[in-house]
Structure 1
Amino acid sequence: MAGPTPQEPLKTQQKCIAIFALVCCFAVLVALIFSSVDIWGDDEDGITEENCSKDCHIVLVENIPDDLSFSMDGRPHLPVFVGFHTLLDQAKHSVEVVSSAWDLNSWDLETIPSPAKQGQLLFQRLLRLKSRGVKLKIASSLTNSTELKALATHNAEVHYVNMTVFTRGGLHSSFWIVDRKHIYIGSADMDWRSLSKRKELGVVVYNCSCLALDLHRVFSFYWQLHERDYIPSIWSKRVTALYGKNNALQLQLNSTPATAYVSTSPELFCSKDRTRDVDAIYQVIQSAKTFIFISVTDYLPLVKRSFRGTSVTRYWSSIDEVIREAVVLRGVKVRLLISFWKKTHPLTFNFVTSLKSLFLIHTALIFFVFIRFFSHKEQNDDIQLGLNHNKYMVTDNAVYIGNHDWVGSDFAINAGVGLVVKMNGSSGDRGVTILEHVKATFERDWRSRYAQTTEGCLMLNWRDNGTAVYQTHIFLT
């Protein structure tokens, strides 16, 4: 029998080399796809961590519905819609928007003047960005919005984030980035109600490219999830956080020394070095020395998950326990203002009663927990009209403004961002800051006739069709 020819080992070796080369090429290709942000370049728009601006101006923005009447606190705030228009006035190159809702028009409203007028004006300005040569990029939840389709026909780039495939949750994030220099973060989204009929609060930060660059990395994270049904195990350094709770940005805010950073949730969406929203809230509460004021739509320390068709609800202690520690161990005064509306979960009152017991039992030790519900008449056709939609916390030295209500499931499965600002130095040295503005806003709401102390019982009634209706007897004290 003839043995192998000298050429056969050589051919085998060549095949191995070719296969190895193909595998290497495939690996490089996959790496490039996973880190496609790097392809854009490290100095897009010429702004980098080295040359970005840290001398910033921050403004509190609010939407107060016309049918809400408050006493003047001496600090008028910029309306949310004016803040958005000011950002569009500043735009020269790019506008990046993240919002789950896109309902600025509501042409079916027949009221003259229409409460959706501000939304319509904002939508028209977004359409006209193309004529100014300004790029508009939008990251949104998976929706069939006609407004997004209209913006896309006017050169807007729209990417969709399908949260259902990632966490079975939703996109709650709401923020703007303009020219990588100016930002907005707050409770208002691209819904006409946020500009007219719903009570909202947020901040606009101008000429703060360092903070804007970091928030842009969160936007880039969302941008890369378009048409994906998985989270890559390896991410580009271009979505790595620049700042966090352990290395906050040192900056000047309205000529006052401060630190700031951006947090995100859920944990699955936290790229390298990014602080979780829950950890940011934990840090702000732990650093408080004298008071903690919290204003949210819903407060419910529970996480609800579905597993193999079975729904499981568990106590979520992350925030609830740190509030108790602040009261009992450090004697910090806590005020919690929660919205009372048709979607208020009945168990909210159980947790509220538990928190209030810290004050009732330990009065002699000067432990203070005060809880009120912000209640306003609701319109039959839209339960959100007049709703207090705020989502913030202010303490004696820091403020947190986020996109989530303080509900365990929100932080666990829904996407959102938060902004932490901490003022340096003593209050006597720094003058009137964003902290004082937010605190004054909270105290105005707290003292208003809409903030009611609740005592009594919760009743559950059933309509004929089986729909649950929650009613609470509210007694003023």
Structure 2
Amino acid sequence: MAETQEPVKTQQKCIAMFALICCSTVLLALIFSSVDVWGDNEDGITEDNCSRDCRAVLVENIPHELTLPDEGSGYIPLSVAFLTLLDQAKYSVEVVSPVWDLNCWEAWETWATAIKQSQLLFQRLLSLKSHGVKLKIASSQTNSAELKSLADHDAEVRFVNMTALTRGGLHSSFWIVDRSHIYIGSADMNWKSFSQRKELGVMVYNCSCLALDLHRVFSFYWQLHDKDYIPSIWSKRVTALYGKFNALELQLNTTQATAYVSTSPELFCPKDRTRDVDAIHQVIQSAKTFVFISVSDYLPLVTRTFRGTSITRYWSVIDEVIREAVVLRGVRVRLLISLWKQTHPLTFNFVTSLKSLCMQLNNCSLEVKFFSPKEQNNDIQQGFNHNKYVVTDNAVYIGNHDWVGSDFALNAGVGLVIKVQQSLKDRGVTILEQIKASFERDWKSRYAKKQIIKEQEGKFRNLQQTEINTHMDTEEESKWQSPLSL
């Protein structure tokens, strides 16, 4: 009897051992199927040896059609800034952009000068391989001839299928050069960013600590290549190094500051990564004297579609923190919104609601203006304000999203938060002062209007949602789609 039981026990042990090996194999397969080996390569840069003595530069594109007050914010033109960034490249350039349209021959006759600038940038990208620089690109655009041409010149291009992942779009726009220099801002790889649109962003040089963290966001996108799901297991190399509770301490233009990178949507926030909405909330909540906001669209609404029925609800995250700052803390708020052909009619309702806060209150200041440039020419709105930022007396947030609920819920975006530590009297000219000067220049310009023409407002209010969707550009399309979650 004992002899019979011994083979049975041995067999059971073998089965148990085999099951354990199978489980381990499956676990390892899951890990390595969801994480690229490339994502673990950070060129030997760590939190211990990375650089924290950094230089920040304000980058803008001001269309020549706009006549703005000569109150310099100390910015560098966008086309010059990108070429300067490429001049720094010795090893690698990593780019995320939703649109690749730098060679627009259809608009050559009207915008030849601007398109020459964007074409020059494209040629420089094509030549990176010949200079021993590796180019990696993540985008959601599948039918781009430019991306194909770059791939033919040995660039590595990967596609992020946002439609399958979140039913949204890719709005992220950032660069990382040599894991040391970065760009984050409103401009993407579109010739319009060098001509028709007013853009704003920040270049940060010699800041490998911050670049390393942004590279982890790039790695996150890189690993989503052709996937139609968000892997449940990720390498620690895509988790955040810094966030709103543990921001990077650095020297920025000889000023003590802290900084971190935020992302959206929530599904794209690995461990310890701060959401864009939480970053904006923190920046506004920490303001003591003023909050200046410049965005293309402001619409605190999200819409869900369930069994063919659309349900719209109020999205309070940002709207409420603005109201709290004005009413409860006496912070001065200015909101500059673009007025253009895709302005949603309900924008005016929310603006009226915000402006009414201070009607019966002392020590209350909330102003709203619409940035309305020249008339459209052949469906092109010249001088369109594409900025997406908020600056306060002690912090700035620069992102890729308009302040629309569905953008943050569905679409992929990246933001940069910089907070200056010293008091106003102890610090020199900082990136915050430069962005504040840029905002005040736009605010005082003849294009910023407190009241729009009644006939113009009526036209927007009567515009039906179906008409808006019909005329939307691909880049803006996902803004009005229904979010999965918030």
| Bin for the TM-score computed over the shorter chain | over 0.9
State the TM-score, normalizing by the size of structure 2: 0.91
Partner of 1:134: 133
More helix by share: 2
**Deviations 1:399-433 (CA, angstroms, capped at 9, x unpaired):** 11110001111011111011111111111111111
Q: How does 1:324-403 map to 2 (within 5 A)?
A: 324-362=323-361, 365-403=362-400
Work out the CA distance in 1 between the residues paired with 2:47 and 2:56: 20
* Equivalent pair of 1:54/1:251 in contact (CA under 8 Å): yes
Work out the CA distance in 1 between the residues paired with 2:321 and 2:12: 66
Work out the CA distance in 2 between the residues paired with 1:293 and 1:165: 36
Name the structure, 1 or 2, with higher relative contact order (CA <8 Å, separation 6+): 2
**Deviations 1:89-112 (CA, angstroms, capped at 9, x unpaired):** 000000000000000110223427
Q: Amino acid of the residue matched to residue 22 of structure 1? A: C
Partner of 1:223: 222
Q: Amino acid of the residue matched to residue 24 of structure 2? A: C
Partner of 2:44: 46
Gaps of 5+ in 1: 470-477
Q: 1:64 aligns with which of 62, 65, 72?
A: 62
**Deviations 1:226-273 (CA, angstroms, capped at 9, x unpaired):** 111111122111011000001111001111101101111111101100
Q: Amino acid of the residue matched to residue 313 of structure 1? A: T
Partner of 1:319: 318
Partner of 1:294: 293
* Equivalent pair of 2:99/2:188 in contact (CA under 8 Å): yes
Percent same amino acid among aligned pairs? 68
Q: Amino acid of the residue matched to residue 226 of structure 1? A: H
Q: Amino acid of the residue matched to residue 282 of structure 1? A: H
Partner of 1:87: 85
Partner of 1:77: 75
> In structure 1, the residue corresponding to 2:328 is in which secondary structure?
helix
Q: Aligned pairs, how many?
A: 462
> In structure 2, the residue corresponding to 1:358 is in which secondary structure?
helix
Work out the CA distance in 1 between the residues paired with 2:275 and 2:19: 43
What is the deviation of 1:276?
Answer: 0.5
Classify 1:421/1:277 alpha carbon distance in 2 versus 1 (closer, same or farther; 3 Å): same
Work out the CA distance in 1 between the residues paired with 2:441 and 2:420: 22
What is the deviation of 1:16?
Answer: 4.9
Alignment pair present for 1:251 and 2:250:
yes
* Equivalent pair of 1:403/1:416 in contact (CA under 8 Å): yes
Work out the CA distance in 1 between the residues paired with 2:175 and 2:422: 30
Work out the CA distance in 2 between the residues paired with 1:237 and 1:427: 38
Partner of 1:24: 24
> In structure 1, the residue corresponding to 2:150 is in which secondary structure?
helix
**Deviations 1:429-453 (CA, angstroms, capped at 9, x unpaired):** 1111111100110000000000001
Work out the CA distance in 1 between the residues paired with 2:307 and 2:225: 27
What is the deviation of 1:13?
Answer: 5.0
Partner of 1:203: 202
Q: 1:411 aligns with which of 392, 408, 412?
A: 408
Gaps of 5+ in 2: 470-486
RMSD of aligned residue pairs (Cα, Å): 2.1
What is the deviation of 1:9?
Answer: 6.4
Could you list the structure 1 runs, at least 4 aligned residues long, displaced by more than 6 angstroms after superposition: 3-6, 461-464
**Deviations 1:18-44 (CA, angstroms, capped at 9, x unpaired):** 34423322222212222335x6546x3
**Deviations 1:362-389 (CA, angstroms, capped at 9, x unpaired):** 2xx1201000000012434343432100
Work out the CA distance in 2 between the residues paired with 1:165 and 1:431: 47
Q: 2:103 aligns with which of 102, 105, 111?
A: 105
Partner of 2:53: 55
State the TM-score, normalizing by the size of structure 1: 0.92
Work out the CA distance in 1 between the residues paired with 2:234 and 2:47: 19
Q: 1:429 aligns with which of 414, 426, 438?
A: 426
